[in-house]
């Protein structure tokens, strides 16, 4: 009886083995669905941030095309009076379009420098006109006063420069602040040469070298004016995307950076799903994904990309899958955890075993 039972067991084992082999080798394909939980995000975001030095920066993220796309910062000299003004039409929850002005940053030093530079250009052009017409007017006294005034400006700025130079040597001020003071000193020095040349012209008539010096000075002043104007224009913060204004209330305590305003895309949304790494070989761009969104229902998406980097999440090796949602979704549920089902291509058991073995081998090779 015992022998008979043993024979039956052997037969069942052999039969089971045959069935497993047949199922494994026969080209029977089985549909595969990978289930995971992820989080909803706007496809694009634009942030206005401020660091501990009160410098304002903007960051533009595009999760569909490579993360951080653009970064710019506005830094200002020590002692400058800087104002940040949000446009009156901008408020939390309001909608904006790409190209809308969101805020304006103004610097008193930049505005003052622009005004001074414009005045210097007008004076230089007026002097050039006098010299080119060779009108030798009886303005010796006025020209002498201009020389003395220019020398006084230079001497006062030289005192400021010497003080700033010592601070710069001791790394107490930025290169930008030092360069600004040095540039102003150089301009005052040129003003002396212009005033002396004007006095000499009034006395003796204009020389070709004087005309050339004035033209060169005007070109330098105009270039400086353009640079200052560009710096002022960079203080006009313009949204690069269509979106909705949100208040993130986030602070990076490590970098001492706070996000003071964000604009989230309202035209395209994505979901990030951490998928077990052993299923990575089954994932492909374009696969359909069913996403269950709370209070909305089932939404359809498509695999946009699969990250090649393996991350350990919850003690398991996983890869991050970016899923692009169809048009028409609203962003009131951004940040929620959602359930996703990725519909992979049907495959045989043998292929599944092959994928699992290859993934295991590659993962071990990476760790080594």
pLDDT at 367: 46
Which of 215, 233, 251 is the C-terminal boundary of a domain?
233
The answer as to whether 88 is a domain residue is yes
- What are the backbone angles phi and psi of residue 307, rounded to the nearest 5°? -65, 135
Share of the chain above pLDDT 90, in %: 1
Distance in Å from the first CA to the final CA of the chain: 55
Structure-model confidence comparison of residues 273 and 24, the more confident one:
273
238 confidence band (pLDDT: 50, 70, 90): confident
- Is the confidence at residue 162, as pLDDT, over 70? yes
Residue closest to 347 by CA, chosen among 51, 30, 103, 16: 30
- Is the confidence at residue 346, as pLDDT, over 80? no
pLDDT at 234: 76
pTM above 0.85, yes or no: no
pLDDT at 115: 83
Please check whether residues 277 and 288 belong to one and the same domain.
Answer: yes
Average pLDDT on 345-355 reads 60
**Domain total for the chain?**
3
363 confidence band (pLDDT: 50, 70, 90): very low
Please check whether residues 58 and 75 belong to one and the same domain.
Answer: yes
- Is the confidence at residue 353, as pLDDT, over 60? no
- Is the confidence at residue 23, as pLDDT, over 60? no
- Is the confidence at residue 361, as pLDDT, over 60? no
Please check whether residues 84 and 176 belong to one and the same domain.
Answer: no
The answer as to whether 71 is a domain residue is yes
Residue closest to 343 by CA, chosen among 44, 32, 11: 32
CA angle 106, 109, 115 (to 5 degrees): 95
Please check whether residues 34 and 49 belong to one and the same domain.
Answer: no
pLDDT at 254: 43
Judge whether 22 and 40 are in contact, CB under 8 Å.
Answer: no
CA angle 49, 54, 55 (to 5 degrees): 60
365 confidence band (pLDDT: 50, 70, 90): very low
The answer as to whether 361 is a domain residue is no
Share of the chain above pLDDT 70, in %: 73
Please check whether residues 134 and 225 belong to one and the same domain.
Answer: yes
18 confidence band (pLDDT: 50, 70, 90): low
Average pLDDT on 344-354 reads 62
Residue closest to 263 by CA, chosen among 241, 289, 288, 278: 241
Which domain, by its residues, includes 294? Answer: 30-42+269-347
Tell me the pLDDT of the chain averaged across its residues. 76
Question: Can you give the CATH number for the domain in which 311 is found?
Answer: 2.40.30.170
Give dist(CA 187, CA 177) in Å, integer: 16
Average pLDDT on 181-194 reads 84
Please check whether residues 187 and 223 belong to one and the same domain.
Answer: yes
368 confidence band (pLDDT: 50, 70, 90): very low
340 confidence band (pLDDT: 50, 70, 90): confident
3 state SS of 215:
helix
The answer as to whether 70 is a domain residue is yes
pLDDT at 169: 83
Judge whether 336 and 296 are in contact, CB under 8 Å.
Answer: no
- Is the confidence at residue 25, as pLDDT, over 60? no
pLDDT at 109: 78
Q: How would you classify the pairing of strands 44-51 and 56-62?
A: antiparallel
The least confident of 30-44, 127-141, 197-211, 331-345 is 127-141
The answer as to whether 5 is a domain residue is no
The answer as to whether 357 is a domain residue is no
The answer as to whether 294 is a domain residue is yes
Please check whether residues 91 and 167 belong to one and the same domain.
Answer: no
Sign of torsion over alpha carbons 122, 126, 127, 131? positive
Please check whether residues 251 and 308 belong to one and the same domain.
Answer: no
283 confidence band (pLDDT: 50, 70, 90): confident
Predicted confidence (pLDDT) per residue in 127-148, tens digit: 777 666 554 445 567 778 888 8
Please check whether residues 128 and 223 belong to one and the same domain.
Answer: yes
Please check whether residues 214 and 297 belong to one and the same domain.
Answer: no
pLDDT at 364: 47
Which of 233, 255, 280 is the C-terminal boundary of a domain?
233
- Is the confidence at residue 276, as pLDDT, over 50? yes
The answer as to whether 352 is a domain residue is no
Question: Can you give the CATH number for the domain in which 208 is found?
Answer: 1.20.120
Average pLDDT on 279-305 reads 83
pLDDT at 104: 85
Tallying the residues shown for the chain, one arrives at: 368
pLDDT at 133: 57
pLDDT at 1: 45
Please check whether residues 229 and 112 belong to one and the same domain.
Answer: yes
């Amino acid at each position: 009886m015992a022998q008979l039972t043993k024979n039956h067991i052997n037969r069942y084992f052999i039969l089971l083995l045959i069935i497993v082999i047949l199922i494994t080798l026969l080209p029977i394909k089985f549909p595969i669905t990978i289930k995971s939980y992820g989080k909803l995000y706007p496809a694009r975001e634009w942030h206005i941030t401020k660091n501990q030095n009160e410098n304002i920066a903007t960051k533009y993220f595009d999760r569909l095309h490579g993360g951080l796309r653009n970064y710019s910062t506005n830094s200002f000299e020590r002692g400058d009076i800087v104002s940040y003004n949000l446009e009156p039409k901008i408020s939390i929850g309001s909608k904006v379009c790409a190209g809308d002005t969101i805020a304006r940053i103004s610097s008193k030093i930049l505005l003052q420098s622009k005004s001074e530079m414009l005045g210097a250009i007008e004076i230089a052009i007026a002097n050039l006109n006098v010299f080119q017409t060779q009108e030798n007017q009886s303005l010796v006294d006025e020209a002498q006063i201009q020389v003395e005034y220019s020398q006084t400006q230079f001497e006062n700025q030289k005192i400021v420069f010497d003080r700033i130079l010592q601070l710069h040597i001791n790394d107490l001020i930025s290169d930008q602040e030092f360069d600004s003071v040095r540039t102003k000193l150089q301009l005052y020095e040129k003003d002396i040469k212009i005033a002396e040349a004007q006095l000499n012209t009034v006395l003796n008539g204009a020389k070709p070298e004087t005309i050339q010096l004035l033209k060169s000075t005007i070109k330098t002043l105009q270039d400086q004016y353009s640079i200052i104007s560009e710096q002022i224009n960079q203080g006009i913060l313009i949204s690069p995307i269509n979106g909705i204004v949100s208040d993130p209330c986030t602070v990076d305590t490590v970098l001492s950076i706070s996000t003071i305003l964000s604009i989230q895309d309202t035209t395209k949304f994505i979901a990030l799903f951490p998928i077990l790494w052993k299923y990575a070989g089954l994932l492909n761009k374009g696969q359909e994904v069913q996403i269950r969104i709370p209070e909305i229902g089932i939404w359809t998406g498509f695999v946009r990309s699969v990250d090649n980097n393996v991350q350990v999440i919850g003690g398991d090796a996983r890869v991050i899958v970016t899923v692009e949602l169809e048009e028409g979704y609203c962003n009131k549920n951004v940040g929620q955890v959602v359930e996703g089902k990725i519909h992979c291509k049907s495959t045989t058991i043998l292929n599944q075993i092959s994928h699992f073995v290859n993934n295991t081998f590659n993962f071990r090779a990476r760790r080594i």
